[in-house]
Chains A and B, each alone.
Chain A
Amino acid sequence: MRRLPVYILLDTSGSMRGEPIHSVNVGIQAMLNALKQDPYALESVHISIITFDNEAREHTPLTALENFQFTDIEVPSAGGTFMGAGLELLIKLVDRDVKRSTEDQKGDWRPLVFLMTDGSPSDAYAYTQAIEEIKKRPFGSIIACAAGPKAKHEYLTQLTDRVVSLDTLDSTAFSSFFKWVSASVSVGSSSAGITDTQRTLPPPPPEIQLVL
């Protein structure tokens, strides 16, 4: 069975406390439920959740959608936005977990990454360094979401040309974002040329603006 690894990186800095993180939790739960109604996803999608504030944590290791048990994400009492640390952890986990084809092993699909932040990296230098490493790895798609008015697009566009923005940090916005994430995951596993770097994604719903 070929796995489609999906990494979800979530900002858990202090400003995400309260309604924003609650909405994210509701959104992720809804996304999981939507994915479970997709037979292809149910057989191939593996999800990992990484959180970052003052440090990056592996909230949930790469787990088959079938076996996934979601525990709410909590935001620590205070914390910066160490997005660079988040990307460093992502690189470490992808290098550790994602299988490449060998003569005896079936490779995974190229991993998808969804990163959500409501701010900008506190560790700008580490962030830029990590992006260099990210570019060396064959991710299927990286989609960055700038949530709320304080999120800075210019950092995210360094990471990927697929940046979307949400105006607000409420549950309507997040649920439509995660719904779109699940639709994007569903189209993630189709054959592509070795040199193809980007996959075609479904058009985002109206709550989500594409940042060009």
Chain B
Amino acid sequence: MTNNTRALLTAGLSNVTPRLSELELSHLEKQAEIQHILSRFSQELNEKVQQLNAALPLFTNTQEKAEPAPETILADEITPAATESEIAAVHNDLAAPAQNDNATPLRPGQVPDRSAAPAIAPKESSMPKVNFAFANAKVGSAYLSRVDATSHYGEAVTIQEIKFSHDIGIGFNPETQELYGTPTLDGDYQLFIKWTTDGKSSHFSEALMIVNPDPRSLWKIIEPPADDKYFKPNTDNQMINQSGVNIAAASRRGRSHEHIGSFRDDDFFISHDSETGWSIMIVADGAGSAQNSRRGSELASETAGSYLSKQMQGESGQKLKSLIQDWQPESQKQIGPLFSELYKNAAKLAVNAIESEAIDMAQTTKSYSTTLLATVSIRINDELFAAAFWMGDGAIAAYGPVGKVRLLGMPDSGEYAGQTRFLDNDAINDSSFNNRIMIGKWTEITHLILMTDGVSDPYFETDNGLTSSDKWDLLVNEILPCLQSDETAEKLTEWLNFFSPGNHDDRTIAISW
């Protein structure tokens, strides 16, 4: 091509510009755009020449022209090779609509004025090329698809019959020209289609029908290695029922982890101090892409949870409680900074715990990436006070009465799926750290709920979805039977197994009511 480039360039420019210097020429020659133009020129020229070549067999009796197109088989006997005069007639027919006013039958060897596409082989004229289009099917799902037959020449095609290589539960209705049924087997199947354009002669074509498996049938459950250094059971749950306070938490390994035999990355922590009345709830979601994140989520929730529980005990817990009870402007002013301090310390301790572990195990801190969602709450008479901390995706909400929800923060989500922020020093030192904390005291709150994105994604989908009280009503309605049962935590763990296409992450939920 390089030699040609120069030749083509010189030839192409000879009429337009004065003679170019060697330097100018070689400069032009190297330009990608010029190269592109020239190579397109040679390609198009090539195509033109090829078309002429392709037309040649028309006039010589070769085997090729009698050979049927691979996708189409003539039902009747194969038409004998056309004679020269017939071909001339075909040319004539085609030339007319091509707006070629002075169209005269071409003679062998004569070059047509303009490209007479489509190709004019006799096989095309006696056997129209037809494409059949219909939707893919899925095992176990009702299927109905019209078969769209498109002829190369625009004639109406009527399908008379469709046979299958073997019975897969699908039939053809000639009246409606539709394929229908419920497929029983997945795979690619050959269909034999009998069709006609004029109602007299029939043709046969083959087409491929794709039957997809039902994704639900493909999920495998593989146990993770029992001797792993960070072994974690596939499910976990806990129930606290003390002095009128109910707290339940449940966590379950997602299908995507079950399928490949990897561990649950989520974790939780719940505690209640019956003396002071304070409750702590934490859920954490280890990053799916980080290999030690199951330990990260465990360390973060354990560390932050124990610290917060300790702070809410005894004197300090009582002092905070009296501030909440008081709830005057003066006491409210003190509460904010106190919780900001508490959460900052909790987050720092959690990050430190992860960093120490990473050093100990000679791993990167990043490989322990996790989110952390926490609430510190107390019920006083008919009111609920909660201070929430939200780092990552998932959701924290105070729900109730029916039809009302207060989202206690905003999820950290990126532009694309699966993107979120994880707990690290950058987040703690960020000036907007306090924006992650939300404090409030409300009446008529029936449930305080925390969840990882494994639950919030299928139920709420988008950030706006999270603020929709209808969606929260639906969720609470679904978990109410679990909460009313004697085995709340077990029932909740079972419920977490709900099926939602495309949502197969680990799921963790913590509720107090």
Contact = CB atoms under 8 A, between A and B. Distances in A.
B218 A78 contact: no
Interface string B254-273: 01100100000000000000
A123 B419 CA distance: 35
Given A77-B46, A103-B464, A110 B32 contact: no
Interface stretch (B114-122, B208-216, B330-338): B208-216
Given A79-B43, A193-B369, A54 B36 contact: yes
A66 B216 CA distance: 14
B67 interface: no
Interface in B406-436: 412-422
B36 A66 contact: no
Interface string B183-214: 00010000000000000000000001010110
Contacts of B61: none
A148 B40 CA distance: 25
B136 A67 contact: yes
A170 interface: no
Contacts of A103: 462-464
B415 A67 contact: no
B32 A106 contact: no
Contacts of A77: 43, 46-47, 50
Given A39-B218, A76-B43, A77-B46, A104 B462 contact: yes
B123 to A, nearest CB: 19
B28 to A, nearest CB: 13
Interface in A21-74: 36-40, 42-44, 54-55, 66-69
B288 A101 contact: no
Nearest to A2: B417
Given A66-B136, A69-B136, A190-B288, A1 B256 contact: no
Main secondary structure of the interface of A (DSSP, over half): loop
B178 to A, nearest CB: 18
Instruction: Name which of B36, B366, B504, B505 has the most chain A CB atoms within 10 A of its CB.
Output: B36
Interface size class of A (residues with CB under 8 A): 35 or more
Interface in B427-467: 453, 461-464
Contacts of A66: 136, 138, 212
B419 A39 contact: no
Interface of A: 1-2, 36-40, 42-44, 54-55, 66-69, 76-80, 82, 84-85, 98, 100-110, 122-126, 138, 189-194, 196, 199-200
Given A66-B136, A104-B464, A106-B461, 17 more contacts: A2-B502, A40-B256, A55-B40, A68-B210, A69-B136, A76-B43, A78-B46, A110-B419, A122-B39, A190-B288, A190-B289, A191-B288, A191-B419, A191-B420, A192-B418, A196-B289, A199-B289
10 contacts: A42-B213, A66-B136, A77-B47, A78-B42, A101-B463, A106-B462, A107-B419, A122-B39, A192-B419, A193-B369
Closest CB pairs A-B (n = 7): A190-B288, A1-B502, A39-B215, A39-B218, A191-B418, A125-B32, A2-B417
